[in-house]
Chains A and B, each alone.
Chain A
Amino acid sequence: MRDLAVLFKGNNLQRLLGGLGVTLELSLVSVALSVALGLLAGVLMTLKNPVIRAAMRLWLETVRIVPQLVLLFLVYFGMAKAFNLQLSGEAAAVIVFTFWGAGEMGDLVRGAITSIPVHQRESSAALGLTRGQTWRYVLLPQAARRLIPQAINLATRMIKTTSLVMLIGVVEVLKVGSQIIDAARYDAPQGAVWVYGAVFFLYFFACWPISLAAGWLEKRWA
């Protein structure tokens, strides 16, 4: 119980919040970019062109199968060794996460679009809407609604996976926690419980509003 004090020693609390800031900054930028690129990718994935389809498929399977850590190492260290291109840890992280996020998002968009019954398209054509108008007023809004739960899943997953970036030198919230615990190892051996507890709640209060916002959006578009 007395080890709880470790959270309030010095600047520890601010450092944890700072770490959370790093986590959120990286993930939210990546999520935003992923959504934008993902929408595009999703539409591309529904096209009938076999070459495009194969390329999209390859991209998706690559981001799903190759562990994010390998991608991070490839971009952060590999680029430096291959092309003497020194990227910061943050830059490498955003690149990798966007690459991953856009691919997964694209697949979700594809799934949402193809789940809309054919008659929606036929009715729109019958009503005289152009292809563009059909996409804009009929298909995309419905796809968006179906998309929301899984898109939120993806966003929160991305936020949680950012802890990997500690291995490319970016000090995010879990690493700060680890530093605090170890620095207090001799004085507060059970400090880990409190620090990890704090980290648990920090993640929760970062991700939960996104869930709530999604729920609200879903109801609004019912």
Chain B
Amino acid sequence: MKKIVALFVALILTLSLITAAFADAQARTLDEIKESGKLVIGVFSDKKPFGYVDEFGEYQGYDVYFARRLAEDLGVALELVSVDAPNRVEYLTSAKVDIILANFTVTPERAEVVDFALPYMKVALGVVSPDAALITSVEDLRGKTLIVSKGTTAETWFTANEPEVNLLKFDTYTETFNALLDGRGDALSTDNTEVLAWAIENPGFTVGVETLGSLDTIAPAVQKGNDTVLAYIDDEIVKLAEEQFFHADYDATLKDVYGDAVDPDNLVVEGGVIE
């Protein structure tokens, strides 16, 4: 019996030492991509309005719109892969996708593991809470329960900056909002555009904090060291500023969702330049 346990533990430790020694898999260069005729991009498939699948099975969203343009300008077909917060980076390090366009917030820790291109979106966080117990500042949240969605900027920000706040994390937006409606938390935080749009539809709730913290950015990511593809994306973003591409992207994908509650310039980043 003890032998089995010993053998087993030895097996696990050996495996982990081996996997630790793994370098990233070989990522494709821009030329290899052009030759294969296919650009593989990882996007979310259930996070409207950034990356989702519509009722006809077609990928749509702010990220997807850009993904399509990247493939088009390179002259290749686009293959979209459904990724989630826990495996976004694995897809890059194992070279299963060339680029990740999955609402990926730039943080220094993440920059150690992947290479970020120029940003194409900026995020400010908002906090929505019931009118009866309105939260008007971040300090109010300390010691209370805040609902967030896993893999979002809100989760990253609160974990890094406000350890006194108890985070209740769910996988999807729908779950987070339902949890708030059921009173499982004192407030909810995510992109302020999202909470504003939701508060309008749900009487009894108000956005008590409209922006908080510093502005975070969303950028495309490639495998660390994949310079050719990174350069291509950066060049594209700068070039597309001339036609105000990301504003068009906003109009096509986000305007209907947020309506008049949101000013596009608060969200869109053109040419990778933050104003």
Interface residues of chain A, those whose CB is within 8 Å of chain B, are 9-12, 15, 54, 57-58, 61-62, 65-66, 73-74, 76-78, 80-82, 84, 86, 166-169, 171, 175, 178-186, 189, 192
- B240 CB–A CB distance under 8 Å: no
- Measured CB to CB, the nearest residue on chain B to A168 is B87
The CA-CA distance from A10 to B52 in the complex, in Å, is 15
Asked whether A175 and B25 contact (CB < 8 A) given A54-B3, A62-B11, A167-B87, the answer is no
Contacting residue for B25 out of A12, A84, A182, CB 8 A: A84
- A94 to chain B: closest CB distance in Å? 17
Do residues A182 and B173 form an inter-chain contact, with CB atoms below 8 A? Answer: yes
Do residues A61 and B8 form an inter-chain contact, with CB atoms below 8 A? Answer: yes
A/B interface sample: 22 pairs, CB < 8 A: A11-B55, A58-B4, A76-B94, A77-B91, A78-B22, A81-B22, A81-B25, A81-B93, A82-B18, A82-B19, A166-B84, A171-B82, A178-B46, A179-B45, A179-B52, A182-B47, A182-B48, A182-B52, A183-B55, A184-B55, A185-B173, A185-B174
- Measured CB to CB, the nearest residue on chain B to A178 is B46
Asked whether A82 and B22 contact (CB < 8 A) given A77-B96, A171-B82, the answer is yes
Asked whether A175 and B82 contact (CB < 8 A) given A57-B4, A168-B87, the answer is yes
The number of inter-chain residue pairs (CB within 8 angstroms) is 113
The CA-CA distance from A192 to B176 in the complex, in Å, is 12
Contacts of B93 in A (CB 8 A): 77, 81
- B161 CB–A CB distance under 8 Å: no
Interface residues of chain B, those whose CB is within 8 Å of chain A, are 3-4, 7-8, 11-12, 15, 18-19, 22-26, 45-48, 52-57, 81-84, 86-87, 90-91, 93-96, 172-175, 177-178, 197, 201, 257
- B130 to chain A: closest CB distance in Å? 17
- Measured CB to CB, the nearest residue on chain B to A186 is B257
Asked whether A86 and B7 contact (CB < 8 A) given A169-B81, A179-B53, A182-B52, the answer is no
The CA-CA distance from A182 to B175 in the complex, in Å, is 10
Contacts of A66 in B (CB 8 A): 12
Contacts of A11 in B (CB 8 A): 55-57
Contacts of B87 in A (CB 8 A): 73, 77, 167-169
The CA-CA distance from A82 to B82 in the complex, in Å, is 23
Do residues A80 and B96 form an inter-chain contact, with CB atoms below 8 A? Answer: yes
Do residues B56 and A10 form an inter-chain contact, with CB atoms below 8 A? Answer: yes
- Measured CB to CB, the nearest residue on chain B to A57 is B4
Contacts of A76 in B (CB 8 A): 94
Listed from nearest, the 6 A-B pairs whose CB atoms lie closest are A10-B55, A80-B94, A81-B22, A182-B46, A77-B94, A9-B55
Do residues A61 and B23 form an inter-chain contact, with CB atoms below 8 A? Answer: no
Contacts of B18 in A (CB 8 A): 82
Do residues A180 and B55 form an inter-chain contact, with CB atoms below 8 A? Answer: yes
The CA-CA distance from A169 to B52 in the complex, in Å, is 14
